[in-house]
Structure 1
Amino acid sequence: MSKITPFKAVRPAPDKVGLVSCRNYEDYSPAELAAWLNFNPYSFLHVINPAYVNAQKITLDKRFKGVAHKYQDFKNENVLISEEKPVFFLYEIQTKNRTFTGIVAGTSIDDYKNNVIKKHEDTLQYRVELFKDYLHQTGFNTEPVLITYPDNTTINNWISEKKKSQPIYNYSTTNKEKHQLWKIETEEEIEWLQNQFEKISELYIADGHHRSASAELLYDEYKQSEHNNLNYFMSFLIAESNVKIYEYNRIIRDLNGYSSEEFLEKLSENFIIKDKEQELWKPQSKFEFGMYLKGNFYALFYKQDGNSNNHKSILENLDAQILYGKVLKPLLAIEDLRNDERIEYIPGKQSILTLKELVDEGEFEVGFMLFPSDISEIKALADNNLIMPPKSTYIEPKFRSGLMVYEL
């Protein structure tokens, strides 16, 4: 059974929400970041990236304290307001092509520890420690963990009815998304929703493994404190059919000493190769890979050796693992997918022309395109305590920073 809890959110004043909320600051180019900070005094970027001009010159400790101080300024100026009592929220994002709707709630650290909330990605300890320190020193988090639950007709029907009521936020952003937020505040609604999730035996983290691991670490260090909010971390709970999973494509700086002809010959040992020339070809199904090399696109079809793949583990049959095990590691000598500077990643939602342009410019020698995983693969890996290779999935929706704050 899954446990969710309402929380006393801090959120933008209704007349300023469109100005306050922003994308994750890492998504902004330096020029964009400077423009938003210079021309929008209400942007939450001022909170999460204080003293941005001198950001490389100050210690992390000073930066975290700057975040805490700027956050308090936003509260003192009533740019951010606090809920009077713990509540849930229903949140909807409408993009050009999709609509995402889910519930914002606190999820249980105990559920995370006991594998009721399941993981499929590995974490880097230094990043977990860093974000734990950030949480401790700033006292808040504004990036919920994206968690999926099995499709549920009862919850879906309730969401449809709730959306007929007046939202507390209804605004659009400069990237042409529409955002709506409803408050779930009556005792009857809160209790009903908690009861529905108690019937759900397992939840799955889609995005936010480092955030949840940091919340666990913070809880372990300070669980004797008076901060009951440490028992939970903020999550955006969404039906598993409502997430959109993209691949991460790979670009490599060199061929590890091979000529392009030698590299193609090596690839032919494990793949059937078809030259697509100038056709912008992308994989159409599992066990297919796209490649861009020396101005040409190639289709790579993995040789599956009859029915042998039926006897392989879920991880061994994962496309990202196949590319790593058959190409990146043995041929290109890339062992550390996180830290090797010879490899970079492009989210699959970006056009493959981006990959083509980066290779054509000469900094990269070859690009690989994958077919996206689906939710069943992610769940199967999590159920078997298996870990995906780094940068295997790019998952939407992405939550707006500053839209909701969970105080510790």
Structure 2
Amino acid sequence: MNTSKTNAPRASSNSRTMTRLQRVVQTAAIIATTLVLVSCAVGPVYTPPQAEPQAVPARRDDGAPLPPPMLQGKSRWVPVRWAELPGFDDDQLFEAWNAWLKSCERPGPVFAPLCADVRRLSIASGEEQRAWMLARLQPFRVESIQGQADGLLTSYYEPLLKASRQAGAGYEVPLYKTPLGYGSRKPWYSRQEIDTLPEARAALKGREIAWLADPVDAMVLHIQGSGRLSVAEADGSQRLVRVAFAGSNDQPFRSVTQWLLDQGAGRMAAPWAESTKAWAAQNPQRVQQMLWSNPRYIFFREEPLNAFDAAFGPRGAQGVALTPGRSIAVDPGSIPYGTPVWLASRGNTVSLQKLVFAQDTGSAIVGAVRADYFAGTGAEAGEFASRMNQPLNLWVLWPK
């Protein structure tokens, strides 16, 4: 029997040692695998791209106290916050900027200091233009002296008519320049007297600009105050010219449509010119009486019409060309010429919420909340204008 000891370990001892080692290795592997998995799952920290810095919108109201109300001739101006102006955020201001540039050709003393900015902003975005207005202007609601804020909006336009330099061949209705001795008699002869008195006829002899074919067209031109003529020249050529308001006989204006209504003709359907022509065709013996019902008479001056001028209307009372859809006639005793105005009107014809400019006036445009909207040129503008008669609210935008 061999009793000597061997230095070789026993199998059971070796197995326990290997188990512990395997456990260490397995644990390390598990930890490493876990770290790898965690690392893969988490990955690098994701930082979303930073949004481009956004322009901070101009504050509509900064909370500053409002200025006191103002009396302006025939009107009372009540200060309001910009939020009161309906549709102000939606208007395409760049469409109005041409009208503002026109006003800056002959600005009054209040708005002249703003004109450098107005010209600079003519190529700016609508938001930049809006922000500038918020910063530089204060809106005032226009009211009558008695506090009435509701008024009336009508519309006018520039007729486009065929005419001839020569009387005859169906063209028998003259358009006149101001008569000889015009300034020496105030008021001048009435419409009926112009047609019948020898002294009135003598003062107008040789003052004809052109002749129209239809007396109703001439009446419409007198009511609108200006128009465009496609003139047949003596040499047979056609020429487009403008006849602009040069003066009146200072007689009162009377509505021909009201006269027709009073005569039992019934209310004329829009467009008024076509309805009146239809009545005249049925009542030829009374046409002269109809025309004489309005004693006011308009004299014109002829102006050339180039491609640039054709995009604008005639010169208004401010002395600048009117911009279709952005110029209004007002009572200058209520709103000074050149004033930017926020207009809001809702009716059966159209709803308007837009920036316009007080650049014209008219004999029938009287009162605080009263405006005549320049619709443009031609038959389509005429039809629009003939249908416009609806409620109105106005806010003047006055420099701070």
Instruction: Give the structure-2-normalised TM-score.
Output: 0.27
Instruction: Give the structure-1-normalised TM-score.
Output: 0.27
Larger-Rg structure: 2
